[in-house]
Amino acid sequence: MRKTIFIFLIAIAALFFYKVLFKVEVTATEITTELISKEAAINVNNPSSSSTEKVLEGKKIVLDAGHGGRDVGATGQSGLEEKEITLHTIQNIKKLLLEKTGAEVILTRDEDESLSLAERAKISNDHNADLFISIHYDAFESSDVSGITTYYGDDKHQQLANLIHEKIFEQDMEVRDRGVTTGDYHVLRENESPSILLELGFISNKEDEQRMQSLEFQTNTANLIAEGIVEYLSQY
């Protein structure tokens, strides 16, 4: 009888320790899986990570620097021309995408040249682009007006506009958020690809003009737009 009870107690103890060990093992596995998932998410969404080098391989991205050549666009109080700063921003974004994503990046212009709106949309359509972004810097007759606006043409591209706009505002800066809205722009209306137009501040506003010329803003904005592109094209 005592022997039977002893064996029974040993069996109970063994079962208890098995459950404890099994529970610990499962918990550890869940934690490891969670950490791996978080790490993967960071790698996909952060172009600074070396593991993103091929994440957009096969994708075609068209970047459009607004204005150019005879069309200088708006001019700031310091004499800064919109056509210059848009090209600078586009080149920064292109550099990041080429280095970190494996995507094919096409610029509508890579120098100071005139290009019609129809030609810009045609470049995107001819390349069957997966995504098109046009960069501009806004202006208004009153120098008090400031802020950043993101435009989209077709409703199905609103999600892209929202994502990129929110990314831009992840940086620590004091600038008015003018939101995301529709815009009847030729490069959006005649574009067959998911497309948006960014107005990254008012060149006619002193504070905005100073900000857009800063290395910090240009670096952060290029990085965040690139992150948004990776995130969008990784999902759609």
137 lies in the same domain as 203 = yes
| Sequential DSSP letters for 106-167 | EES-SSS----HHHHHHHHHHTT-SEEEEEEEE--SSTT---EEEEESSGGGHHHHHHHHHH
∠ CA(98), CA(102), CA(103), 5° rounding? 80
Looking at the structure of the chain, the number of domains it has is: 2
Mean pLDDT of the region 47-62: 75
∠ CA(56), CA(105), CA(136), 5° rounding? 115
Indicate the pTM of the whole model. Answer: 0.78
Check residue 47 and report its DSSP letter: T
**CATH number reported for the structural domain that contains residue 176 in this entry:** 3.40.630.40
pLDDT at res. 23: 32
Choosing from 81, 84, 199, 231, the catalytic residue is 199
Spatial CA neighbour of 198 closest among 46, 47, 45, 66: 66
78 lies in the same domain as 178 = yes
Range of the domain at 17: 1-45
Mean pLDDT of the region 156-167: 98
188 lies in the same domain as 221 = yes
Average pLDDT over the chain reads 83
199 carries an active-site annotation = yes
Confidence of residue 54 (pLDDT cuts 50, 70, 90): confident
156 lies in the same domain as 229 = yes
pLDDT at res. 49: 45
pLDDT at res. 40: 27
212 lies in the same domain as 229 = yes
